[in-house]
Every structure is written in structure tokens, then in C-alpha cells.
């Protein structure tokens, strides 16, 4: 166990925990966008920054990446944290001025407008979708491509991916709703910021409803070794 303070509260934590985990365990709010417990921390959005004092020296760190240590002092709302976080939020607001999630978070952090030049993007390039596809689903169908202002998220070469199974996990975890995902009749449509695909859905043998992409089913059968008949019915009819 290690002992640290966050905003003046003396807390105990497990070795290896990040500052963000300890804060969340103790109901201390730190804003995040690219963090999700299901995948390894990545440190893309920097919104979770906090100020730490270590051996008498102060510095800003991403709390989702920084592991706690004995005697660490953490401030989640110092002037330095607040002004840096506001600037990051202004940059995000400039990138995605029409995104509802970004607008809501900006308001929560006291940012009403941005002084930076505005674009009209939806994706914040946090790569959460990419990491979930790779680390949780295990297929790596999407990635961040290009550099600088041309950086985008989508399928390789903006072409339909051979390995995407249409599960929609990328859309579920996107913190800003930048991936469109809908089922219409027998087809699932997924639209990423720079490419799109559609997937044929399988029909339930009992109720006749379309419920899962055929590619996802094939992947599940391959992964589990279960007989194909196991998935003839949708979860409601099973
Ligand atoms: S949540 Fe820590 S960098 Fe995004």
C-alpha cells in the first residue's frame, strides 16, 4: 500500500494504481475523454492532467498514466491545472464546435467559447475505438492514419476492411459519438470519420428479427469453437 494526498485528503492506494483510479475510487472528479477501464491507458486527450509534488518539485502529469507513490501530493484543481485544462478544452471545442459531448464537457469545465480558429470535426483522435478494436475485440480493423492536420481515424486506405466484423464496439466506446452506427432491416451500417462499411445481419430462426452481423457470428464461432447452431436464435429467443 502507498499513502498519498489528493486535494489535501490523505488516501491509501494499491501500488500500481494510477492517480485517476485512486481519485475515482474516492469520488474525486477528474475529467477524462480517452480513458476506459477496458483498455490500457494511452494519454491522448490530456484532460485528466493534475499537478503533483514530488521531492519538492511540482509538475503536471496525465493522471490516467501516472502511478501513485508514497508521499505523493496531488492537486486536481490548482490554478495551473485549471488554466491548462481550459486551454485543452478550448482546443477541443475549436476542433469539434458542434459536438454535443464536447460542448457539455466544456460547459462543465467553465469553457463557453474558444479563442482558437474553428474547424468542424467530430472525432477527437483519442484512439479509444482503435484500442478497443485491437485489445478487446482482437481484430485491429481500424487505426489512426496520416499525420498532423490530416490525421484521421478509419479503416486502412479508407477501404472496406477485410477483418472488421461489424460488432460496433468502436461506436459504443467513442466518448464523443463520432462513429455512426445503425441497423436498418437486414443491414448494419457503420460510418467512421473517414470511411464506412455495411454488414449483412443474421436472422433469428424463431422471431425472424435481424440481430447480429454474419461476420461477427463467424468470428465468435471461430473463437469459441461452438457449433454454428448455437447462434440460430437471438438472445431473446434463446
Ligand atoms: S484521460 Fe488521461 S489523457 Fe485522456
Query: Tell me, what's the pLDDT at 147?
Result: 84
Q: What number is the average pLDDT over the span 204-232?
A: 93
Query: How remote is the CA of residue 188 from the centroid of ligand 1, in Å?
Result: 31
Question: How many angstroms from the chain centroid is the CA of residue 57?
Answer: 32
Query: How remote is the CA of residue 43 from the centroid of ligand 1, in Å?
Result: 4
- Reported as a single tens digit per residue, the pLDDT across 93-131 is 999 999 999 999 999 999 999 999 999 999 999 999 999
Query: How remote is the CA of residue 64 from the centroid of ligand 1, in Å?
Result: 6
Indicate the average pLDDT of the chain: 95
State how far the alpha carbon of 217 is from the alpha carbons of 140, 199, 200, 220, 221, in Å: 17, 12, 11, 5, 6
Its pTM stands at 0.91
Query: How remote is the CA of residue 150 from the centroid of ligand 1, in Å?
Result: 22
Which atom of ligand 1 is the closest one to the Cα of 48? 2
d(CA 238, CA 231): 9
Query: How remote is the CA of residue 50 from the centroid of ligand 1, in Å?
Result: 11
d(CA 94, CA 114): 6
Which atom of ligand 1 is the closest one to the Cα of 49? 2
Ligand 1 contacts (CB < 6 A) are 32-35, 43-48, 62, 64
| Range in 85-89, 146-150, 174-178, 216-220 the model is least confident about | 146-150
CB burial of residue 180 (10 Å; 0-12, 13-18, 19+): middle
3-state secondary structure of 179: coil
Query: Tell me, what's the pLDDT at 123?
Result: 96
Which atom of ligand 1 is the closest one to the Cα of 63? 2
List the domains of the chain with CATH numbers: 2-77 (3.10.20.740), 128-231 (no CATH)
For the chain, the straight-line distance linking the first and the last C-alpha, in angstroms and rounded, comes to: 46
- Does 135 score more than 90 pLDDT? yes
Query: How remote is the CA of residue 34 from the centroid of ligand 1, in Å?
Result: 5
Q: How many alpha carbons lie under 13 Å from residue 122 in its C-beta half-sphere?
A: 15
Alpha helices in the chain (DSSP H): 19-25, 79-95, 100-108, 128-131, 169-173, 214-224
What percent of the chain clears pLDDT 70, i.e. is strictly above it? 100
Which atom of ligand 1 is the closest one to the Cα of 34? 4
Query: How remote is the CA of residue 128 from the centroid of ligand 1, in Å?
Result: 10
- Does 194 score more than 90 pLDDT? no
Which atom of ligand 1 is the closest one to the Cα of 43? 3
Probe ligand 1: pick from 19, 24, 42, max atoms within 8 Å of CB? 42
Amino acid at each position: 500500500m502507498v499513502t498519498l494526498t489528493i486535494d489535501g485528503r490523505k488516501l491509501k492506494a494499491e501500488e500500481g494504481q494510477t492517480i485517476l483510479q485512486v481519485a475515482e475510487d474516492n469520488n474525486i472528479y477528474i475529467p477524462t475523454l480517452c480513458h476506459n477501464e477496458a483498455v490500457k491507458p494511452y494519454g491522448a486527450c490530456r484532460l485528466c492532467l493534475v499537478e503533483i509534488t514530488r521531492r519538492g518539485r511540482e509538475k503536471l502529469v496525465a493522471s490516467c498514466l501516472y502511478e501513485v507513490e508514497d508521499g505523493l501530493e496531488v492537486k486536481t484543481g490548482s490554478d495551473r491545472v485549471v488554466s491548462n485544462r481550459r486551454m485543452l478544452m478550448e482546443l477541443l471545442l475549436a476542433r469539434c464546435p458542434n459536438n454535443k459531448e464536447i460542448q457539455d464537457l466544456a460547459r462543465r469545465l467553465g469553457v463557453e467559447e474558444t479563442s482558437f480558429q474553428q474547424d468542424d470535426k467530430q472525432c477527437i483522435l483519442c484512439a479509444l475505438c482503435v484500442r478497443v478494436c485491437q485489445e478487446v475485440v482482437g481484430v485491429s480493423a481500424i487505426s489512426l492514419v496520416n499525420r498532423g492536420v490530416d490525421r484521421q481515424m478509419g479503416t486502412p486506405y479508407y477501404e472496406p476492411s477485410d477483418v472488421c466484423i461489424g460488432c460496433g464496439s468502436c461506436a459504443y466506446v467513442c466518448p464523443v459519438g463520432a462513429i455512426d452506427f445503425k441497423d436498418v432491416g437486414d443491414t448494419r451500417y457503420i460510418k467512421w470519420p473517414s470511411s464506412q462499411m455495411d454488414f449483412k445481419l443474421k436472422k433469428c430462426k424463431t422471431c425472424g428479427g435481424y440481430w447480429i452481423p454474419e461476420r461477427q457470428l463467424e468470428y465468435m464461432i471461430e473463437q469459441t469453437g461452438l457449433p454454428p447452431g448455437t447462434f440460430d436464435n437471438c438472445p431473446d429467443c434463446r
